[in-house]
Structure 1
Amino acid sequence: MKICIVSDFFVPHYQGGGERRYYEIAKRLVKKGHHVDVICMKIDGVNDQEEIEGIKIHHIGPTIMNPPQRSSSDFMKFILSVFRWIITDDYDIIDAQAYAPLIPAFLGAKLKRTPIIGTIHDVSTGGDDQWIQSSKTAAIAEKILPRLPYDKIITVSNSTKKSLVEYYCVNENRVCVVYNGVDLELIDSVEVHEKYENTILFAGRLAPHKHVDHLLKVVKSLKKDIPSIKLIIVGTGVEKENLISLTQEYGLKKQVQFLENLDYPELIIEMKKSNLLALPSTREGFGMVLAEANACEIPVVAYASGGVVEVVEDGFNGFLVEAGDLKNLENKIRILLENPLERTNMGINGFKKVKKNFTWNIIVKDIINIYKHL
């Protein structure tokens, strides 16, 4: 098959969960003999044409200086560029990621009579903190774009599927759930020879809905009883300067470390060295870092939002906390920091759960079946 994947950005230049999902799927599709083109935005300093593990990557449209920040003009130019690309090339299937790529991909696919899949990773729970930028426009687009008559919608959890059906009136027969995965072989190959003490890891975009500020408040409180506590924050985003300011305001300069631009093995090293991963996010279609942390045999603590509840079994491979309940968030983190045996058991449970349900080989088999059916 000749497959076109349309995304805002792509790895290694942007490390969002959706971008990593497409990368892991695409490279395995190539290994199975399929041709995969990835269409995404230009990034300053990056060649317009790249090839990564056999994936043909085409950077088109306006040049973005600081992903993911884009102007309205950037969005419009990218949409037009994608539409032109699709109508001038031939594909067996087009798979477009929510949300901006859905518009030109859908229109171009219908004009070319090419099967079109809309991949929707998550939906918002309302409120301005659910979006990185252009919150009002994004909220309107979210209400419209899932309703377009794609041949199939792929989403990453039953929770998101339920939201699409109940709140966006999507026909449930058009929605397929294909979880995110992890590369167990790669993760197992990364060796660490030391373990941090009393260390919490956060990894992800520093966006409002991730609520890393909640973790800072928790660390500030826990520092009284656990002076050696440490929080490692891995990622970049619009909230970074605010989080740095809060770190200084709370007197946590010795407890908090900011890291960015880590390659994937470096991220896995930080996970394996840490004692637990925390994800106090109010918007998660799946929560890929949760599965990655479990694959590293460390437990997780997360807000019970979206697809997170399908990755984390409360008390088995981590703890679930109601969104915004900082007291319970602190309590669950304290339990894991103060009980090494419980940490170890939950980490082992997490590894078993990931191996059974969340590997990329399982995911790619499901994706190919959907593509072939269309």
Structure 2
Amino acid sequence: MLPLPRFDLANLNPNCPQSIRAIRPALPVIDRLDEKWLAAAAALAERGRVLSHPNPSVGALIVRSDPVMSLSAVVVGRGWTQPGGRPHAEAAALEQAGQRAVGATLYVTLEPCAHVSERGPACADLVTKSGISRVIIGTCDPDPRTQGKGIARLEQAGIAVTLAHHKPSHDSLRGYLKQRNTGRPHVTLKLAMSLDGAIALRSGESRWITGPEARAHTHRERARADAILVGGGTLRSDNPRLDVRLPGLETRSPARFVLSRSAVPAGWQAIANPEEILALQDIQYLFIEGGAQTAAAFLKRDLVDRILLYRAPIIIGGGLPAIADFGLSDLTSAHGRWSLSDQRKLGNDTLEIYERTPCLPA
């Protein structure tokens, strides 16, 4: 069954300038087929996520009807942001489509860029010259060089533009949007615990609470991050490698940070308090791996956007807690802050993914 149509929330989207919000009513504007193609573009964006830095990974899909084959829609171009950030997704998809782009629809997760750089032309200009007749955009680009300008340039060229604030597109860009809108990285907190909420025995032993499938998933999440952070206690007791041990991604190990006021070993960078992540301008995705005091410090300051909770089917009893006390004074304020967005089995373990409520906007 195809998903329900999404709504155009441009008038609620902080990524969009007021001039765009004012003319985009909050009404359903894409049908189920458009939703399917835009979701496919978001899936393409994930292919470039690990290697597109410093640019966000965008997905683009070009679709047209094929009367000769009696097909209502056929994909003629696919693209995602290439390693190092160039070529952009739209450029890659248009190159693949060639002349078949004439009269076709472009589905793209992020507003086409409107600025020219030494690394390449503006994607909005490439689209206007391609013969594309319709563009469906997942979300506005908050970059002031493009914000609303890409859409305006397309419409001035006579292209029909639909802005559908689309959650899968938004999610594929969550780090970029968070950095642009708030000045800080998107923060994921990873917790691996027993059924009774312990991350280690009282002695501190924690290898291994979860099984190999959960640990492999953690390595994939590390590869998707720009930086990993642990607490000073974790660094001193475990001396963790925090590298990516997956075939083909061994060189993708993120930068390593530690929450500490003390001197740190070579290969690590120290930050004295959680607020210092606001200065990490080149970091879009920050992955926190503990321990309990570090988790509490970031939660207390409301600096966590996503929680990965790996739960092992074991009971420790009297072990070390996953999260230290962070001064919660009443249960009322604890409710409604997190939404379960996904749950799955990883071998014998269970992964629960929680996101801040509401998930939209950034």
Which of the five TM-score ranges fits, normalised by the shorter chain? 0.3 to 0.5
**Which of the pair has more CA radius of gyration?**
2
TM-score scaled by length of structure 1 = 0.33
